[in-house]
Every structure is written in C-alpha cells, then in structure tokens.
Amino acid sequence: MELLERYLDALRRHLPWQRQDDIIAELRANLEAQLEDREAELGRKLNDAEMEAWLKQLGSPLQVAAHYQRQQYLIGPALFPTYSYILRLVLAWATAIYVIASVVTIAAQGFGAEALAGISLLHVALRLPWIWLINAGITTLIFAAVERAGARFPGKIYPLAPMTPLWSPLDLPPAGAGDGDWAKPRSFTRALLEVFAGCVFLAWLLFVPHYPFLILGPGAWYLHALPYQLAPVWWTFYWLVVCLNVFELAWKLVDLARGAWQRPPNRARRLSMHALSLVPLCMLLAAPNHVLFLLKNPATDAAAYGATVASANKGVLQAVSIIVAIVVLQLLWGIGRASLDAYRKHEAAK
C-alpha cells in the first residue's frame, strides 16, 4: 500500500493542478479495488516484488499522467502540414536573408582584406545552424500556441489548418506553372513572340552606347556636363551582356528552326543561363583597383570630386556584390531542387 501511495503521489505532480485531487481520488479507488481483487485471488497480500511489478505494468507516473492531459501533442495532425510547409519557407528565407546580409557586411568591410573575408565567411557558416535553430524554435512555438488556442476554443481557430472552409480550389496557381515535366507546352505564337522580343531587346542594347537617352532618357544630356565617366570595365561588362543575349536568342532560333519550340526551356538550360549571367557581374567585381567610375579630368577635378567618385565606386560595388549574392543563392537553390528532383526520380524508378 505504501508503494501505491508513493506511486499516486508521484503521479499527482504531473497532473493538471485543477483536476489532480479528483483524478487521484478516482484512480486510487480503481487501483485499490483492482489490488483487492488480485489479493483475493492469491489469498494473501502482494509482496513488495509483486507490488513493484504491478505498478511497473501500469506505467511510469509521467506516462500515466500524460493520458489525462487535454492536449497530448505540441502540433496536431490538422495543423502539422501547414506547420511543416511554413517551417521550410521560414528556414529557406532565414538562410537567404542571413547569407545576403552577412555577405553585404563582409563586403562593406572592404574588398582588400581577403584573409579577413575568409574568416568572416567561416563565422557566417558556423552561425548558420543557430539561425536555423532559433527560427525553427520560434515557428514551432507560434504553431504550438495556435494548436493550444485551437484546443481551448474549438471551431474558432482554424484559418491555418489546410482543410478549412477558407481554402478554395480557385486559389491554386494556374496549371503548368511548375518546372520540368510539369511545365505547360508553349504555343508557336508564344515562341515566335519570344524571339521577336529578344531581337528588339538586342537591337535596343546595341543602340544604347550610341544613344544613351535610350536608357537614361532626358538625363542622358547631363552626361556630357558631369565630371565623371564609366571605367573601361563597363565595356567588358556590356559586351558580355550582349554576348549572353545573342547566345540566348540563337538558342531560341535554333529551337524554332528544329520545331522544338513546344518544349519550355528545361531546367539545365535555365540553370546554365543563370550561371552565365554571373560572368558579367563578376567582371564588375573584379574591376582593376575596384574602380567603376573615373574622373574625366583627374588633374583638375580630383580635389572637388575625388571623394564623391570614391564613394560611388564603393556603393556600386556593394550593390553589385548583393546582386551577385542573390544570383548565387538562386543558382544554388535551383541546383539543389534539380538534384533533389533527379534523386527522387531515380529512387521512384527503382
């Protein structure tokens, strides 16, 4: 009996305080009745070992008390699909924002200190698991609170559950908006329009150096008056952009000529174009002495405009490094998704 009292006492500590006396009183009555039956069967009292075995078979106090909790899970099956989806989104966005912010901070410290930048990048990588942990923790806490509120006020908290009256098939994205095999075949008109638009864009691009107003509008007339000019690296950047556009246009024309226009650009092609788009941007980052803008007359204008041009060089380089970081992340994301899909396809084919 003493062991039973100890058992019930331990159990009480894990029960909801509002109901613990009531639950314990009921459980005591049931267990004592059960014990009396067993003792009547044996014709004697249970010894300590038998008592211990019986209580052990009932389950640990913590385990038994858990059955009396109103809510026995942190996030229930109705909310879990939404939680899982949001968690993946949060982790992806947290990673992207953190990496971009870190790269910009490193870039702001200066491009000359490569060794320092390397160490900073290592710090960024080492802190990433903590970022994931913190974001996952916060998301889980929010969903656990929603689950709890849902259990407390049934029928009132449901907008986050996927199978709710708020869900409608009309909210689904259009068919064929996906990638790869799911993508919708293109019409001939669309393929033709794409080639036409590509030609117009290329023509525009080729005219821009001769007619700057095509890109700057009326502001182009001020270019002559300004004491600044673009560094030669911009010409390299410009011709690389032209080459990329010619390459893509040629690819589309070949598709059209081969009758392969129905096929939307596949993932490998899009990824390779994405990777190639990094080349002109990296040329800017690799500009000699990190100079993107120059003074037209350094001898006379250095004193008045030297600081402005240095600040413009720094600012634009930082902006370019942010763009490169975003493009690299998009590329890594694309490669990751493509690899995952390829792996899944391979596994499914087994």
Partner 1 sequence: MTLAENLFENLRLELRRGCLTLAVLAQLKQEHYGYTLRKALASRGMEIDENTLYPLLRRLEAQGLLTSEWREEDKRNKRFYRLSADGQEIFVRLLKEWNDINTAIGNLL
For partner 1, the binding residues (CB under 8 A) are: 23, 25-27, 29-34, 58-59, 63-64, 67-68
**Amino acid code (one letter) for 159:** P
**Of 58 and 208, which has the nearer Cβ to partner 1?**
58
Please, what is the minimum distance in Å from the beta carbon of residue 264 to partner 1? 42
**Partners of 230 in the β-ladder:** 293
**Of 65 and 231, which has the nearer Cβ to partner 1?**
65
**Amino acid code (one letter) for 314:** K
**Amino acid code (one letter) for 65:** A
**Of 64 and 99, which has the nearer Cβ to partner 1?**
64
DSSP string of 17-59, one letter each residue: TTTHHHHHHHHHHHHHHHHHHHHHHHTS---HHHHHHHHHHH-
Please, what is the minimum distance in Å from the beta carbon of residue 47 to partner 1? 22
**Of 11 and 320, which has the nearer Cβ to partner 1?**
11
Please, what is the minimum distance in Å from the beta carbon of residue 343 to partner 1? 24
Give the C-alpha separation, 68 to 15, whole Å: 7
Give the C-alpha separation, 183 to 146, whole Å: 36
Query: What is the chain's length?
Result: 350
**Of 29 and 125, which has the nearer Cβ to partner 1?**
29
DSSP string of 261-289, one letter each residue: TTSPPPHHHHHHHHHHTHHHHHHHHT-GG
**Do the beta carbons of residue 233 and residue 223 sit within 8 Å?**
no
**Of 37 and 345, which has the nearer Cβ to partner 1?**
37
Around 86, how many Cα atoms within 13 Å sit in the side-chain half-sphere?
17
**Of 62 and 125, which has the nearer Cβ to partner 1?**
62
Please, what is the minimum distance in Å from the beta carbon of residue 16 to partner 1? 11
Please, what is the minimum distance in Å from the beta carbon of residue 56 to partner 1? 13
**Do the beta carbons of residue 82 and residue 34 sit within 8 Å?**
no
Around 55, how many Cα atoms within 13 Å sit in the side-chain half-sphere?
24
Please, what is the minimum distance in Å from the beta carbon of residue 12 to partner 1? 15
Please, what is the minimum distance in Å from the beta carbon of residue 143 to partner 1? 24
Give the C-alpha separation, 152 to 149, whole Å: 5
Please, what is the minimum distance in Å from the beta carbon of residue 30 to partner 1? 4
**Of 63 and 297, which has the nearer Cβ to partner 1?**
63
Give the C-alpha separation, 46 to 248, whole Å: 86
**Of 25 and 304, which has the nearer Cβ to partner 1?**
25
Please, what is the minimum distance in Å from the beta carbon of residue 34 to partner 1? 5
Burial label for 322, CB within 10 Å (0-12, 13-18, 19+), is: middle
